[in-house]
């Protein structure tokens, strides 16, 4: 990882290994574990006392998971595990950059520590108090806590400020009770041992077989130099990892005793049952924290969505060509200079309407045709709960929304079921503000009619399709493991699938599901007997956009 000062590069890569017959190495590993004979999908290919690496035969992906007895955190509903695992690997490989990343957040950390001390002692202290200074210095005295802080800050920058259980997350005295240090110790020992035994690349969340991927993650593998971070780890963990480097079959030693369900299960269950989060929504406290990252990028074709800007300003700067994939504003933001394409999301609908307190009747005149429509009344009353009553994307209401957005972004082309050609690529912008599962048939018929109308008889010019909500599951970045996933949202329109067979469609871009950028921003999928890319780039402090130009260059034309 080569990074600028105060900037930690988060790796992003496709989630799936390229589809082909199982590599011989994987088959050999599957044969080593007898229990695989009764497991049709998730096969064990490597394990130790606390962790295992499994291979999913259905989508040919690999995943590291902790075995049943190991507890990641005693903090209920702690969602930072993947961030902390990635932080552990980045710390092992690049400790100087990791520390620089933490130090760049000093002002934010002091705020977190001040709030943590208040949660613990019920005494108010200032951010420049001796107590806060001591707690800040304690972070750098314990590498396992430093790794956790790094992970928490990565989560902060990607999903928003944290508010629940801050003491256990930021204060050494409370953190030692959570068991996370023991988890990190066992995790690091496992991944080092694993990469010495198999040709893998691991970034802390994703695992790829190096010899069978189209591109690799930025992370740990058998050839990476871990000397910089290894020298900083606690001595027992350091010795354990060194033993693994010498012999991949060497039994690993525990550095910090992990938290086990067999010993603390009942206590942890009670803690979860009686848990009161006292948490605050990240967007409600974001203004209290400093953004330490630059809001400018130089992507040539910059893809971004779901900014949900609430302060009246566009938080990104890009002087090239942008693809805004909906839900950009919740505060009527405008920008007279930004260029590119804009498709309509759900939040644009309410954001484009006059303010309720505006009593001038002429301001509401162009919206008057919809006053008697139930979906419009429900949208005005409670938009967050009524998205699914919206009309399909060929409704005249969306033309009014398009006009309102166009006025605020004069150099953007707002595509409302329209096509625009840029540098030899036809971008088709479809108005699909939300996922309409119950009206899937009508939705897909609308998509079919619109594509046929726009694409006509041009079977030569490459095409990229833009829509806020994904077209359907086969062309969506949403994981089947997500609570928002519905297997009913698949494509069951054969004529629509044939459009993807007949026309030179390179890929699709969507937003809507708020998939963290570090999870992945694109993947290659097979649909209609063709390889397509799917892109989803959600705004965060550490993601001001994804550069589509490199993906276009590396995508073969049909």
Nearby residues of 524 by Cβ (< 8 Å), 6 or more positions away: 14, 16, 18, 214, 531, 532, 533, 534
pLDDT band at 357 (very low <50, low <70, confident <90, very high): low
- The mean pLDDT value for 73-77 works out to 92
Q: What is the mean pLDDT of the chain?
A: 89
Q: Identify the residue with better confidence: 58 or 203.
A: 203
- Cα–Cα distance, 203 to 186 (Å, whole number): 16
For residue 17, is it within any domain? no
For residue 325, is it within any domain? yes
pLDDT score of 10: 37
> Considering 235, 260, 284, which residue would you say is the last residue of a domain?
284
Q: Identify the residue with better confidence: 386 or 313.
A: 313
Model pLDDT for residues 16-53, shown as the tens digit of each residue: 334 456 678 889 999 999 999 999 999 999 999 999 99
Domain that holds residue 398: 293-553
Whether the pLDDT of residue 452 is over 50: the answer is: yes
Nearby residues of 493 by Cβ (< 8 Å), 6 or more positions away: 441, 444, 445, 448
Torsion of CA 454, 457, 462, 468, to 10 degrees: 20
Whether the pLDDT of residue 12 is over 80: the answer is: no
Please indicate, yes or no, whether residues 527 and 406 belong to a single structural domain of this protein.
yes
How many domains would you assign to the chain?
2
Whether the pLDDT of residue 106 is over 60: the answer is: yes
Please indicate, yes or no, whether residues 351 and 371 belong to a single structural domain of this protein.
yes
Please indicate, yes or no, whether residues 94 and 166 belong to a single structural domain of this protein.
yes
Model pLDDT for residues 231-241, shown as the tens digit of each residue: 899 888 888 88
Q: What are phi and psi of 113, to 5 degrees?
A: -70, -40
For residue 115, is it within any domain? yes
For residue 485, is it within any domain? yes
pLDDT score of 252: 42
Whether the pLDDT of residue 95 is over 60: the answer is: yes
Say which CATH number the domain at 447 has: 3.60.21
- Cα–Cα distance, 55 to 208 (Å, whole number): 11
Most confident of 226-235, 298-307, 308-317, 375-384: 298-307
pLDDT band at 434 (very low <50, low <70, confident <90, very high): very high
For residue 432, is it within any domain? yes
Model pLDDT for residues 138-153, shown as the tens digit of each residue: 999 999 999 999 999 9
Q: Identify the residue with better confidence: 15 or 171.
A: 171
Whether the pLDDT of residue 381 is over 70: the answer is: yes
Please indicate, yes or no, whether residues 127 and 180 belong to a single structural domain of this protein.
yes
Please indicate, yes or no, whether residues 256 and 306 belong to a single structural domain of this protein.
no
Please indicate, yes or no, whether residues 110 and 254 belong to a single structural domain of this protein.
yes
pLDDT score of 219: 87
pLDDT score of 319: 97
Helix (H, G, I), strand (E, B) or coil at 365: helix
Helix (H, G, I), strand (E, B) or coil at 210: helix
Distances (CA, A) of 371 to 364, 376, 378: 10, 6, 10
Helix (H, G, I), strand (E, B) or coil at 387: helix
pLDDT score of 64: 95
pLDDT score of 287: 86
Please indicate, yes or no, whether residues 304 and 273 belong to a single structural domain of this protein.
no
- The mean pLDDT value for 121-131 works out to 93
How far does Cα 23 stand from its chain's mean position?
Answer: 29
Model pLDDT for residues 250-260, shown as the tens digit of each residue: 444 445 678 88
Give me the helices (H) in 309-439, please: 346-351, 374-381, 396-408
- The mean pLDDT value for 449-460 works out to 97
Whether the pLDDT of residue 157 is over 80: the answer is: yes
Distances (CA, A) of 471 to 43, 162, 326: 32, 33, 14
Please indicate, yes or no, whether residues 154 and 251 belong to a single structural domain of this protein.
yes
For residue 15, is it within any domain? no
> Considering 231, 253, 284, which residue would you say is the last residue of a domain?
284
For residue 211, is it within any domain? no
Whether the pLDDT of residue 220 is over 50: the answer is: yes
> Considering 284, 311, 326, which residue would you say is the last residue of a domain?
284
- % the chain with pLDDT above 70: 91
- Cα–Cα distance, 63 to 15 (Å, whole number): 10
pLDDT score of 247: 62
Please indicate, yes or no, whether residues 261 and 329 belong to a single structural domain of this protein.
no
pLDDT score of 71: 92
pLDDT score of 386: 73
pLDDT score of 366: 87
Please indicate, yes or no, whether residues 126 and 190 belong to a single structural domain of this protein.
yes
Side-chain-side CA neighbours of 387 within 13 Å: the count stands at 15
Please indicate, yes or no, whether residues 242 and 308 belong to a single structural domain of this protein.
no
pLDDT score of 331: 92
Model pLDDT for residues 309-354, shown as the tens digit of each residue: 988 999 999 999 999 999 999 999 999 999 999 999 999 999 998 8
For residue 428, is it within any domain? yes
Whether the pLDDT of residue 498 is over 70: the answer is: yes
Helix (H) or strand (E) holding 421: strand 418-422
Please indicate, yes or no, whether residues 264 and 355 belong to a single structural domain of this protein.
no
- % the chain with pLDDT above 90: 69
């Amino acid at each position: 990882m080569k990074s600028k000062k105060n900037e930690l590069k988060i790796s992003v890569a496709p989630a799936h290994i390229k589809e082909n017959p199982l590599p011989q190495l994987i088959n050999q590993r599957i044969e080593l574990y007898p229990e695989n004979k009764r497991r049709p999908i998730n096969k064990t290919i490597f394990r130790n006392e606390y962790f295992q690496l499994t291979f999913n035969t259905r989508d040919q992906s690999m995943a590291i998971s902790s075995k049943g007895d190991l507890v990641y955190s005693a903090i209920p509903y702690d969602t930072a595990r993947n961030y902390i695992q990635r932080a552990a690997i980045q710390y092992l490989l690049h400790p100087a950059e990791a520390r620089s990343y933490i130090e760049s957040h000093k002002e934010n950390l002091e705020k977190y520590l001040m709030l943590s001390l208040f949660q613990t002692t019920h005494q108010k202290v200032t951010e420049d108090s001796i107590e806060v200074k001591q707690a800040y210095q304690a972070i750098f005295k314990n590498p396992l806590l430093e790794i956790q802080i790094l992970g928490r800050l990565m989560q902060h920058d990607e999903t928003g400020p944290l508010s629940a259980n801050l003491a256990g997350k930021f204060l050494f005295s409370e953190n030692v009770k959570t068991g996370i240090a023991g988890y990190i110790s066992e995790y690091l020992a496992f991944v080092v041992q694993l990469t010495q035994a198999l040709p893998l690349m691991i970034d802390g969340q994703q695992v790829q077989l190096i010899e069978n991927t189209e591109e690799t993650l930025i992370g740990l593998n058998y050839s990476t130099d871990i000397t910089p971070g290894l020298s900083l780890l606690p001595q027992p963990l350091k010795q354990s990892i060194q033993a693994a480097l010498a012999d991949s079959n060497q039994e690993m030693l525990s550095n910090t005793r992990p938290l086990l369900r067999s010993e603390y299960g009942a206590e942890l269950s009670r803690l979860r049952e009686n848990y009161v989060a006292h948490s605050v929504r990240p967007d409600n406290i974001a203004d209290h924290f400093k953004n330490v990252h630059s809001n400018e990028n130089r992507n040539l074709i910059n893809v971004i969505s779901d900014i949900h800007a609430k302060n009246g300003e566009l938080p990104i700067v890009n002087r090239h060509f942008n693809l805004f994939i909906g839900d950009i504003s919740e505060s009527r933001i405008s920008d007279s200079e930004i260029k590119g394409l804009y498709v309509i999301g759900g939040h644009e609908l309410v954001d484009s309407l006059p303010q309720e307190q505006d009593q001038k009747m002429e301001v509401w005149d162009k919206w008057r045709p919809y006053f008697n429509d139930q979906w419009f009344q429900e949208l005005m009353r409670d938009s967050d709960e009524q998205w699914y009553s919206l009309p399909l994307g060929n409704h005249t209401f969306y033309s009014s929304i398009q006009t309102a957005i166009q006025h605020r972004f004069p150099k953007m082309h707002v595509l409302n079921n329209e096509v625009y050609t840029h540098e030899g690529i036809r971008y088709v912008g479809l108005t699909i503000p939300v996922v309409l599962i119950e009206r899937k048939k009508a939705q897909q018929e609308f998509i079919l009619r619109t594509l046929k109308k726009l694409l006509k008889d041009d079977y030569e010019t490459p095409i990229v399709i833009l829509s806020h909500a994904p077209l359907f599951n086969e062309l969506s970045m949403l994981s089947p493991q997500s609570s928002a996933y519905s297997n009913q949202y698949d494509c069951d329109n054969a004529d629509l699938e044939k459009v993807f067979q007949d026309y030179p469609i390179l890929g699709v871009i969507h937003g809507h599901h708020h998939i963290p950028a570090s999870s992945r921003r694109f993947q290659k999928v097979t649909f209609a007997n063709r390889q397509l890319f799917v892109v989803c780039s959600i705004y965060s402090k550490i993601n001001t956009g994804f550069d589509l130009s490199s993906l276009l260059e590396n995508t073969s034309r049909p």
